[in-house]
Amino acid sequence: MRHEAFDQSVSDRVVALNKSYAHHAAIDVLRHALKDAQVGRVAMVSSFGAESVALLHLVALVDPKTPVLFLQTEMLFPETLEYQQTVAKRLGLEDVRLIHPDEDDKARMDPDGLLHRTDPDACCNFRKTVPLANALNGFDAWITGRKRFQGGKRADLEFFEEEPGTGRIKINPLVHWERDGVREYMVNNRLPRHPLVAQGYPSIGCKPCTSKVAPGEDERAGRWRDTDKEECGIHFVNGKMVRIGAGEQA
């Protein structure tokens, strides 16, 4: 169950948390967030994608019992599923939860597994956004890997932010990290890389909607190629999961 005994509003708690931890390192933010009563019950949401292992490693160092929510869309690359198991074992993560789409929704909306071809937004909705919304119902906050260097609305991100309409807090421990810093951290800590990165997939999602990226292309060019879709939309506005613009994926 979510914690209901907070003595301040979400927005007031976010302001206070950012003031308290403004000059802390990522791992210190995590240490405090995972035990601070004004944050509440926390989960991490991870795609086990190209650079996810850096934040997973930090979480494992602080508390390997932290719930990690992994969206098993049932359309992922086999390599991603194998990588998830490898990383979880290597880091000693004790509570990885595979979040599947609802079987009734799948039978009703995508019985032949081809919805991604005609309506990728609808496919993401029932395979990702709805299952994640349900999985997060028991938590007061969730950890994301978003960073300021990714641009767009992320340029002004803080360690803590309010998720509109949900009563939850988002925690962004890596907000000040640069692209090279993430990769250096992975190398320095000898963390396993997703096997598809070396094959030309710098951004990895579901298999039908992810293609290789040519030299010089944007790293996300291989996601939903030849469509106007840019994100899966796992964010809330006024309490509802919505599609969001480029640079806003968790």
Phi and psi at residue 100, in whole multiples of 5°?
A: -100, 155
Interhelix angle 179-188/52-62, rounded to 10 degrees, is 60
Q: Which of 123, 206, 209, 232 is catalytic?
A: 232
202 within 8 A of 50, measured Cβ to Cβ: yes
Query: Measured at the alpha carbon of residue 99, what is the angle toward residues 33 and 146, in degrees to the nearest 5?
Result: 40
Indicate the pTM of the whole model.
0.86
Rounded Cα distance between 70 and 48, Å, is 8
**The pLDDT of residue 1:** 46
**The pLDDT of residue 249:** 39
**The pLDDT of residue 104:** 96
**The pLDDT of residue 155:** 62
Report the CATH fold assignment for 10-242.
Rossmann fold (3.40.50)
Cβ-based neighbours of 62, under 8 Å, separated by 6 or more: 27, 30, 31, 34
> Catalytic: 206?
no
Q: b vs e for 145-175, b when ≥16 Cβ sit within 10 Å of the residue's Cβ?
A: bbbbebeeebeebbbbbbbeebbbbbbbbbb
Cβ-based neighbours of 25, under 8 Å, separated by 6 or more: none
How far, in whole angstroms, is CA 10 from its chain's centroid? 21
**The pLDDT of residue 134:** 94
pLDDT lower than 50: segments of the chain? 1, 235-250
**The pLDDT of residue 149:** 66
Average pLDDT, the chain: 86
Token reading at 68: 């990690």
**The pLDDT of residue 16:** 93
**The pLDDT of residue 230:** 52
What's the distance, Cα to Cα, between the start and end of the chain in Å?
A: 23
Token reading at 12: 């007031």
Sheet strands (E) in the chain: 42-45, 68-71, 96-99, 141-143, 160-163, 168-171, 235-237, 240-242
Nearest residue to 149 (alpha-carbon basis) of 178, 126, 189: 178
Can you give the residue ranges of every domain in the chain? 10-242
**The pLDDT of residue 190:** 97
- Other beta carbons within 10 angstroms of residue 71's beta carbon come to 27
- Other beta carbons within 10 angstroms of residue 51's beta carbon come to 24
Rounded Cα distance between 184 and 202, Å, is 16
